[in-house]
């Protein structure tokens, strides 16, 4: 590993311990000798493949969806999926390494590509810009996912240094989000510099599975959608709010959405899965995964998205929780589930994110229109009258996001926390020791590498 925090080395052995830390082939660590000798078109392809495979392997669903009260993983051999995600605080010495070390490894893979693309003598300047724009976008996505699970704990961002450098300081949530916004904006500039030049590498088939995101021009829509998502939560930051970012979020989300089209709501880059040797299958196909009854019981009559919910023949109980429901697409008995793709950022999500930004900006009429576009087209439900208060609009957008994005990531977990709803006022206690955990702790190995404590993050 050429560039990373010192603590990253200490916790690499923990990656395989958590279901949300799926192991992937080490294609992004193609050795210092390759980097020192300079890149060419074939090695750029190798580094890109490694980066995107790492990103796919790092997708975290089980941790945040359990903490958001959408699912359970009931496994007698591994009770921590309940005891440390719902029943009490996660142990920094083990389980908390999930969704930390793996993402910093991904960031290091992106830095390897960004820092060394200038040595690729057989690439044009436009091709180098296209590569940098893609890598910076994926790097921003990795940073954002770290913050999803750590929130106000903060995170290191200045990690592109030699292994012998001191560990990067923690910065506050607002500063981290500012950095991510700057990163995706610089990536947009790179992609624009590439113009009509194709990427000098092949992207996985998921980038043309639903919609085309395989060229610098079309990939820019994904980049702008990610920018708008980060800007929304930057605007909503409680400690250091940035209300001006609501307008920025609306503009960038609109660029990511394009024309409203009911047939394109599932358009997104996708993580693809396969049963072929050496490939990865869908990570949430697991007989131990079940729906939390609060998710199953809350869906409205007639909602077409109820197809995702399967009533069990008999309830299942473990670690003090019980459910009568399964998530349809987690059932191993349905063979196609193993290869079912998972979206990264659908147009449906972008529209609902825009509705949230419109609520924040006080434009309830626009927010109602966006909420209804998803509600009627994906849910098959009657439209709402125009909302007259923000609370009702927030209730509606949270409902639509829950069922349009169910089991695809940390969206609901982030929203419950952002709106102050991850507590006993809005949710019932699942166990007697339920603390409504709002973030995973920093892994103990990271703490140890910093002398045994994490100072309060700096915020400038």
pLDDT digits (tens, 9 = 90+) for 285-321: 999 999 999 999 999 999 999 999 999 999 999 999 9
Residues linked to residue 311 through DSSP beta bridges, in sequence order: 325
Tell me the C-alpha distance between 69 and 61, whole Å.
12
8 φ, ψ to 5°? -60, -40
Which pLDDT does position 442 carry in this prediction?
94
322 φ, ψ to 5°? -140, 140
Which pLDDT does position 28 carry in this prediction?
43
213 and 347 Cβ atoms separated by less than 8 Å:
no
Q: Is the dihedral of CA 348, 69, 249, 215 positive or negative?
A: negative
Tell me the C-alpha distance between 81 and 94, whole Å.
12
User: Is 60 exceeded by the pLDDT of residue 93?
Assistant: yes
Q: Where are the alpha helices (DSSP H) in 204-321?
A: 216-235, 245-257, 293-297
257 φ, ψ to 5°? -80, -45
**Tens-digit pLDDT profile for residues 31-89:** 555 666 789 999 999 999 999 999 999 999 999 999 999 999 999 999 999 999 999 99
Q: How far is CA 144 from the centre of its chain?
A: 7
User: Is 60 exceeded by the pLDDT of residue 16?
Assistant: no
Which pLDDT does position 85 carry in this prediction?
95
The kind and range of the H/E element at 311 are strand 309-318
| Per-residue tokens: 361 | 């900006």
93 φ, ψ to 5°? -80, -5
Please, which pLDDT band fits residue 99 given cuts at 50, 70 and 90? Answer: confident
329 and 407 Cβ atoms separated by less than 8 Å:
yes
Which pLDDT does position 374 carry in this prediction?
99
Q: Which residues contact 200 (CB under 8 A, 6 or more apart)?
A: 41, 44, 45, 123, 127, 130, 131
- Give every strand in the sheet of 71-73, ordered side by side: 71-73, 289-291, 321-327, 309-318
250 and 264 Cβ atoms separated by less than 8 Å:
no
| Per-residue tokens: 302 | 């007639």
User: Is 70 exceeded by the pLDDT of residue 447?
Assistant: yes
**DSSP tag of 321:** E
């Amino acid at each position: 590993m050429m560039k990373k925090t010192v603590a990253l080395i200490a916790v690499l052995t923990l990656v395989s311990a958590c279901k949300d830390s799926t192991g992937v082939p080490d294609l992004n660590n193609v050795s210092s000798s390759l980097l020192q000798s300079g890149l060419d078109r074939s090695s750029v392809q190798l580094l890109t493949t490694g980066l995107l495979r790492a990103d796919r392997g790092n997708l975290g669903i089980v941790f945040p969806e359990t903490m958001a009260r959408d699912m359970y993983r009931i496994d007698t051999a591994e009770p921590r999926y309940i005891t440390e995600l719902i029943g009490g605080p996660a142990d920094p010495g083990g389980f908390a390494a999930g969704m930390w070390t793996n993402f910093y490894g991904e960031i290091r893979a992106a830095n390897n590509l960004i820092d060394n693309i200038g040595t690729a003598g057989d690439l044009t300047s436009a091709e180098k810009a296209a590569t940098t724009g893609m890598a910076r976008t994926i790097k921003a996505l990795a940073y954002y996912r770290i913050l999803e699970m750590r929130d106000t704990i903060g995170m290191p961002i200045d990690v592109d240094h030699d292994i012998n450098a001191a560990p990067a300081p923690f910065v506050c949530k607002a500063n981290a989000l500012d950095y991510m916004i700057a990163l995706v904006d610089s990536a947009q500039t790179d992609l624009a510099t590439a113009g009509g030049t194709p990427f000098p590498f092949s992207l996985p088939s998921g980038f043309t599975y639903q919609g085309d995101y395989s060229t610098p021009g079309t990939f820019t829509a994904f980049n702008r959608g990610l920018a708008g998502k980060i800007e929304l939560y930057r605007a909503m930051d409680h400690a250091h709010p940035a209300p001006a970012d609501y307008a920025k979020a609306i503009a960038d989300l609109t660029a990511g959405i394009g024309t409203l089209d009911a047939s394109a709501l599932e358009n997104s880059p996708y993580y693809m899965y396969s049963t072929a040797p050496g490939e990865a299958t869908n990570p949430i196909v697991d007989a131990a995964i079940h729906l939390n009854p609060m998710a199953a019981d809350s869906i409205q009559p007639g909602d077409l998205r109820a197809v995702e919910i399967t009533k069990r023949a008999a309830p299942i109980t473990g670690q003090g929780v019980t459910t009568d429901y399964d998530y349809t697409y987690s059932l191993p008995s349905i063979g196609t589930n193993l290869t079912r793709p998972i979206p990264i950022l659908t147009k449906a999500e972008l529209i609902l994110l825009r509705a949230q930004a419109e609520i924040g900006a006080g434009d309830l009429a626009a927010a109602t229109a966006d909420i209804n576009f998803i509600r009627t087209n994906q849910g098959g439900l009657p439209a709402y009258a125009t909302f007259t208060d923000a609370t009702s609009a927030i209730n509606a957008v949270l409902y639509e996001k829950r069922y349009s994005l169910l089991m695809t990531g940390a969206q609901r977990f982030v929203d419950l926390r952002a709106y102050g709803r991850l507590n006993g006022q809005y949710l019932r206690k699942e166990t007697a020791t339920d603390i409504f955990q709002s973030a995973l702790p920093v892994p103990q190995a990271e703490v140890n590498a910093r002398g045994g404590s994490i100072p309060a993050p700096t915020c400038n």
